Structure 1
């Protein structure tokens, strides 16, 4: 219902009346002020309580919302495992690397990487290091790994790690080494070649079949490469290099190996050995050759007949020097060495150990190889070698660690024949097989017994012509025969690959010959077996034989040999 005009007028009149100022006494004003203050305090307390309640309610609502909106994580799926077995499976949810937050600066390790690399290199095995980073400790471990022992005054160079690291070997010689299939140097090659390349005399003591031939051929040919080529004028003064060997067979094998090295270089190799025409050999020598391989007897004969001179010979190698002494060639060897020019002999002083001193002129260099070191060899070395570096691989006079040595006591030849046939008939050992005896007549008898049992045989002894002996060796190498029956003439130098078994039908007269007999097997790192038949006639060598077998890790101790009275004490020399 609309307001009437009278009501509007009445309201306006009231507002005007209220807008007029009114007089209020002091007492009234004090009363009104006190009342207003009380009302203000009450209002403030109510506001504070409301704020507290609203804040508490807000927090409670936030917590409730968080609880309601946050869902618990689903349970991890467990990998199925077989009862009793450990499970190697893991869930991707277990990976905590995503939450990784480093608490330190990346720059805190600045400069540490080179130090760590240096420390890691120092701790690495020698095979993982460059040769320039090898420490004295690394070289000591290297020598232990290859059973290398070096002695001698002056500075003995470190061994050879690989062919490519030896820059002293001419490039063309290294290429020949690669072409011939030499992959890794053998221990004697690692130790002897650096010493010889340092223009120093060398004594090498190593087991048979250890790669000795290449260990003296490589430095010898490297030496010849630095000399002038032979011409019509210089060839009459003889060869640059001379190699002496105890037997024709060994000399011919060395020659064959030397030809492989020398042919690519344009060098000529001539052999001077018995069993061949002296006229043909003299003609070959007069035509000129950088290298001569010879036996002492035939070489001395050619020198005495003035068919050969050694006026410019500056490199001499004596292979299997102990065998040459055993065979009675010591005097002949000394005569050959005495025919060498004295003008190029090294001084017997500290100068011979100094590379800088000996490299100022062409001194003669001498290398001697032996499997044993008897007194006669020590005297020979002292007389003709100057301050040599001595290299020992393994133990002097010890058979290779790849040969298993077995012994059996059998007194009669008939028992030994039956046992020999029994051993090889089991087919445990595949041809080629070598049987050693002491006498020519016994070789024929044993060969006949083998042939009767169906084995193909060849015979080598001192009564055979040179052509017959070479033919027998070639037949064995080709597989045309199964068994080689031989005397000690084949005990040295014959390099027949893959001989699985050596049988000493009769024990050798001394331990040195025994060592070289069984050295026909287990060559070039391959394993082999040596069986020796013993009798009453072998008492003199039983003590040394027992000692050798006991030092061999590859050979079992024989109780019968250990208990034998003759093996308990070394027999005194009469």
Structure 2
């Protein structure tokens, strides 16, 4: 099947041919005709299968009737709104819109946070048909009354599960309330949990579910491997692996911004060209780092999950999970950065004992048992092979060395009656007998004083020595005698 058979207009077919595409991918073959027909769609496909073109091409086809060369802003109302969770993904979608729509007189812009709003305001005042935005910055423009959404005909939520699952629900609902009820809504993502599908069903009208593969399936072109390692040796193992692959690029995932920056600095000190990308970096820094990585000037990019959305490199050979994601679906998104467009890729995970339960959840989700390989010199903690894991069931027990271990290995001995354990002594070192009831000491006879007698104003002499507490001096103004 060719793109011409999907019903696209000639301007789009010419742009697709210029981009070097000859045959549509499975998600494109199913989604493009459905979107052109005006139906709501939930599209699920593996990352790197042409999902962006699956909604961009039919969107351009549907609003092409509004294309005009007039300079009046009134002739360029906002007709399509595409929401993305991160700046990088929004920029990637914007580039796709520009690539496929270059022969159409339609205007597009990308608005996101982290940069000055004034340039975006000037762009919106010119009149824009297609707006690609992150939810927070879009609401900023709504509050400033610099954008009008009353004429939107098509709404697209890219990476819909991530947007709905990570705190974007209030912003999405506010945006939906500003849109016309008679619109077409499209949700595209690599994964769909059951909870997200229930929520999406409330937002869409009789949606068409398009899944080109089973849900949460990973690409068959990706080779998975797990390296068990102790948590304290992860950095050393990562540097070791990168040194043994000197000519390959790698995208390394971590969980937090702090670890992201520190790990990139460690790799730099180890002689490996690396940089970090995370939410605390300015947009200019993030853009420059990403461009350096895409162009091959930067060998290793250390990133957090949110910042890595939108990194699109067709021939990226390695994705390394320095820390496993706490959500199994994020593993699918992470490794989807490699093995794209039919190329082979490698997904490497460094796993310590504390992360075993996350590894089990990932394997359950993708229905794949990932092989484990221990790198010599980088052994994991003994807890990694606790009872109940596959590794511990097939591992030979170590030969016992002590006499007690040999007896335990030989099996349980016949049960014998053991002597009763002697009770603790009831008489203290100072002679006090704890087994007898308390009796006050006898009063001293006249003219004599016990050896442990205390001067007046101190603890009662009748209190046994072992129960006495040292008396603290009391200030004179509080009724005491002060220090002597």
TM-score normalised to structure 1 length: 0.63
Whole-angstrom CA distance in 2 between matches of 1:188 and 1:331: 30
Query: Could you say which residue in structure 1 is the equivalent of 2:215?
Result: 396
The alpha carbon displacement at 1:449 in A equals 2.7
Q: Is the 8 A contact 1:241 1:316 kept in 2?
A: yes
Whole-angstrom CA distance in 1 between matches of 2:303 and 2:289: 10
1:246-325 correspondence to structure 2 within 5 Å: 246-325=85-164
Query: Could you say which residue in structure 2 is the equivalent of 1:226?
Result: 65
Whole-angstrom CA distance in 2 between matches of 1:549 and 1:446: 28
Q: Is the 8 A contact 2:48 2:337 kept in 1?
A: yes
Runs of 4+ in 1 over 6 A off after TM superposition: 557-564
The alpha carbon displacement at 1:564 in A equals 7.0
The verdict on how the C-alpha distance between 1:543 and 1:176 changes in structure 2, with shifts beyond 3 A counting, is same
- 2:8 equivalent to 1:169: yes
Whole-angstrom CA distance in 2 between matches of 1:233 and 1:194: 32
Whole-angstrom CA distance in 1 between matches of 2:122 and 2:389: 54
Q: Is the 8 A contact 1:518 1:530 kept in 2?
A: yes
The alpha carbon displacement at 1:462 in A equals 1.6
Query: Could you say which residue in structure 2 is the equivalent of 1:482?
Result: 299
The alpha carbon displacement at 1:547 in A equals 2.1
1:422-501 correspondence to structure 2 within 5 Å: 422-427=240-245, 430-501=247-318
Q: Is the 8 A contact 1:543 1:567 kept in 2?
A: no
Whole-angstrom CA distance in 2 between matches of 1:562 and 1:393: 38
Q: Is the 8 A contact 1:461 1:487 kept in 2?
A: yes
1:355-370 correspondence to structure 2 within 5 Å: 364-370=183-189
Partner SS for 1:263: coil
Stretch of structure 1 that moved more, 273-282 or 487-496:
487-496
Q: 1:475-494 CA distances to partner (integer Å, 9 max, x unpaired)?
A: 01111110001111233221
Q: 1:425-477 CA distances to partner (integer Å, 9 max, x unpaired)?
A: 222x7432111111222223322332233211121012111111111000011
The alpha carbon displacement at 1:262 in A equals 2.2
Stretch of structure 1 that moved more, 418-427 or 225-234:
225-234
Stretch of structure 1 that moved more, 314-323 or 184-193:
184-193
Q: 1:85-136 CA distances to partner (integer Å, 9 max, x unpaired)?
A: xxxxxxxxxxxxxxxxxxxxxxxxxxxxxxxxxxxxxxxxxxxxxxxxxxxx
The alpha carbon displacement at 1:162 in A equals 1.4
The verdict on how the C-alpha distance between 1:460 and 1:497 changes in structure 2, with shifts beyond 3 A counting, is same
Q: Which structure: greater helix fraction?
A: 1
Q: Is the 8 A contact 2:314 2:339 kept in 1?
A: no
Q: Is the 8 A contact 1:238 1:308 kept in 2?
A: no
The verdict on how the C-alpha distance between 1:264 and 1:228 changes in structure 2, with shifts beyond 3 A counting, is closer
Count, aligned residues = 383
The verdict on how the C-alpha distance between 1:326 and 1:526 changes in structure 2, with shifts beyond 3 A counting, is same
Partner SS for 1:246: coil
Whole-angstrom CA distance in 1 between matches of 2:215 and 2:247: 30
Q: Is the 8 A contact 2:265 2:275 kept in 1?
A: no
The Cα RMSD (Å) is 2.5
Q: 1:264-323 CA distances to partner (integer Å, 9 max, x unpaired)?
A: 211111111111211211221121011000001111121122111111110111100111
Whole-angstrom CA distance in 2 between matches of 1:453 and 1:366: 49
- 2:236 equivalent to 1:418: yes
Q: Is the 8 A contact 2:226 2:372 kept in 1?
A: no
Query: Could you say which residue in structure 2 is the equivalent of 1:572?
Result: none
- Higher-Rg structure is 1
Whole-angstrom CA distance in 1 between matches of 2:37 and 2:315: 35
Q: Is the 8 A contact 1:502 1:520 kept in 2?
A: yes
The alpha carbon displacement at 1:565 in A equals 4.0
- 2:158 equivalent to 1:340: no
The alpha carbon displacement at 1:379 in A equals 3.0
Q: What runs of 5+ residues in structure 1 fail to find an aligned partner?
A: 1-160, 346-363, 569-574
Query: Could you say which residue in structure 2 is the equivalent of 1:41?
Result: none
Partner SS for 2:363: helix
Query: Could you say which residue in structure 2 is the equivalent of 1:530?
Result: 347
TM-score normalised to structure 2 length: 0.74
